[in-house]
Structure 1
């Protein structure tokens, strides 16, 4: 917790006021995107819920509410909240980018492009980046990637948060073109300050590049210091398993037991949030192809980004292969 957050917490406890609550909620949300601080999303939501009805028309309240809703995959609710923002400010930059992100997450590409277009009089660079991301999602990776790369490299100075955002898009597009090393290299310089979503992308790329040692070392340190979310822990365990089969690199399964406990708990309580974690677990850690398909399908019902589709297709492919192996093989006489 930063000194500013500590100050605001003390002031909020002493005398809750709307502006203090809103600023503190915003800081919790910013921090919650970092690995190990995911619980801060709940802190932010609880803080926002303490505000009275009169704050529901405040712009900052609406933006924070929509941000929390999209994090919880309540996409339609988030878009409805953003509509209230656009009624007062039709070209609001942050709201437009958030709307585009939600439409991309649900594979509504035309709507996403319309959200990007709101920015053409506000910020041409952001509108261009947003539009190139949409173009990639439409399948135009081979044209959108070099165009976005050239645009990015021409910028003399970019705020850190925007730099991280653009690099995440470039990494996705390079990956879709099979340029895995380039994709990884887009993320490596900003990984320390990157959100969990880009840590996941970096880990997946690194595992594909057979760099399990680096994934293990970085995520193990995060787990020891902060207790990372299931999405990162499942990749840490996968790296751990890959390292165990490397010559002269055998390691005990330090993190597998904790992951298994977390998965069992989520299933027991019927937790369907971020079902991709469970699909990944049953696909890569404890193989159960039917369970992987179940959770990947559930995940794809709400989130339809390239990684979500790839997870579903891979799960279905493995299930199909295992079903074929389970079928009795006929002899020539029986045929």
Structure 2
């Protein structure tokens, strides 16, 4: 852990108690307006009608990937993927193509493929900041902590702030939750202003670390002020924390207010159905969730198996099935939430076996 303490010394960060600071919680979540195709996207689409080359294809794919992270726009990942399949050979030699492809692959939990694509980026630009941060994120998903730190270290000479955030996230995953959390708090407090995307990213890490320290309300407060601009992954974390805190009504009201609610990901629909269940409302969303889960099972769909594990824990109690899907999920991703899901599923199975004896 020597590198961790050297960063603390270099930045002058103390090891104060992790409960000293609480972020200001937003009183109200104001959702953005509906996210239609922008004028830039429409212009690029029109350009593709006349000339199919990378000058329009790659920028359009990038815009789809940016939009796809918003709740209800998951299908835009497929739009981006289709565009990348159709690029010309010249584009496939470029850095931008491989970076976009890696982004699609890591979103689909194709982590090995994403790392191979990122190697193509590093062959062209060894210290590419975005690629380095993406590589660190992928390695963290696989719980490969040394490679994750090596990915962070690629950028330490270019951007000390991003390097520090990246490294403290890795340190947290090593088990240094309290020291990392305090250091990240202080980094965040020292910034007079951050670009929205960086602020959301940092708040997501702070929320995870606060949760791991048992500071569930504080973890939720890190996310609430930026939820309207946050990606689906942070909506899921906010919803899980809110349900844990007994705030099912906030989850229900916020998710049903999403402009593209009919198209939200199964994982977010699942949290909406859980809120509906906790509020003892008629199972409108529970029924919709059941239909989607049955379709997944019929297709043998193993993508995002965590949703099926949660479904068999909370809606159609079947501990053995929950363990099966949680184990499949853990084979792909080994982040704290994945470990917790597997543990909960195994505990449910043990309790079921114990009660049947």
Query: Do these two structures clear the TM 0.5 threshold for a shared fold by scoring above it?
Result: yes
Which of residues 305, 330, 350 in structure 2 aligns to 1:300?
330
- SS of the equivalent of 1:178 reads coil
Query: What CA distance in whole angstroms lies between the structure 2 residues aligned with 1:124 and 1:224?
Result: 38
On the 8 A contact 2:141/2:335 being kept in 1, the answer is: yes
- Which residue is 1:260 aligned to? 290
2:236 corresponds to 1:206: no
Query: What CA distance in whole angstroms lies between the structure 2 residues aligned with 1:35 and 1:224?
Result: 7
Which has the higher relative contact order, 1 or 2, with Cα contacts under 8 A spaced 6 or more apart? 2
On the 8 A contact 1:37/1:226 being kept in 2, the answer is: no
State the shift of 1:307 in Å.
Answer: 0.2
- SS of the equivalent of 1:255 reads helix
Which of residues 77, 96, 101 in structure 2 aligns to 1:65?
101
What are the residue-to-residue correspondences of 1:168-207 with 2, within 5 Å?
A: 168-207=204-243
- SS of the equivalent of 2:90 reads helix
Query: What CA distance in whole angstroms lies between the structure 2 residues aligned with 1:123 and 1:321?
Result: 50
Q: Any stretches of 5+ residues in structure 2 without a counterpart?
A: 1-36
- Which residue is 1:333 aligned to? none
What are the residue-to-residue correspondences of 1:137-176 with 2, within 5 Å?
A: 137-176=173-212
CA deviations on 1:84-141 (whole Å, 9 max, x unpaired) are: 1111211100000000000000000000000000111110000000000000001110
State the shift of 1:226 in Å.
Answer: 4.2
Which of residues 333, 339, 343 in structure 2 aligns to 1:309?
339
Query: What CA distance in whole angstroms lies between the structure 1 residues aligned with 2:110 and 2:195?
Result: 29
Query: What CA distance in whole angstroms lies between the structure 2 residues aligned with 1:19 and 1:226?
Result: 33
On the 8 A contact 1:100/1:130 being kept in 2, the answer is: yes
State the shift of 1:223 in Å.
Answer: 7.3
2:62 corresponds to 1:26: yes
- Which residue is 1:118 aligned to? 154
- Which residue is 2:112 aligned to? 76
Query: What CA distance in whole angstroms lies between the structure 2 residues aligned with 1:23 and 1:321?
Result: 52
Query: What CA distance in whole angstroms lies between the structure 2 residues aligned with 1:166 and 1:215?
Result: 22
Query: What CA distance in whole angstroms lies between the structure 1 residues aligned with 2:179 and 2:330?
Result: 27
Matched length: 321
Cα distance, 1:56–1:259 mapped onto 2, change above 3 Å? same
State the shift of 1:80 in Å.
Answer: 1.0
Query: What CA distance in whole angstroms lies between the structure 1 residues aligned with 2:264 and 2:102?
Result: 24
Query: What CA distance in whole angstroms lies between the structure 2 residues aligned with 1:243 and 1:86?
Result: 50
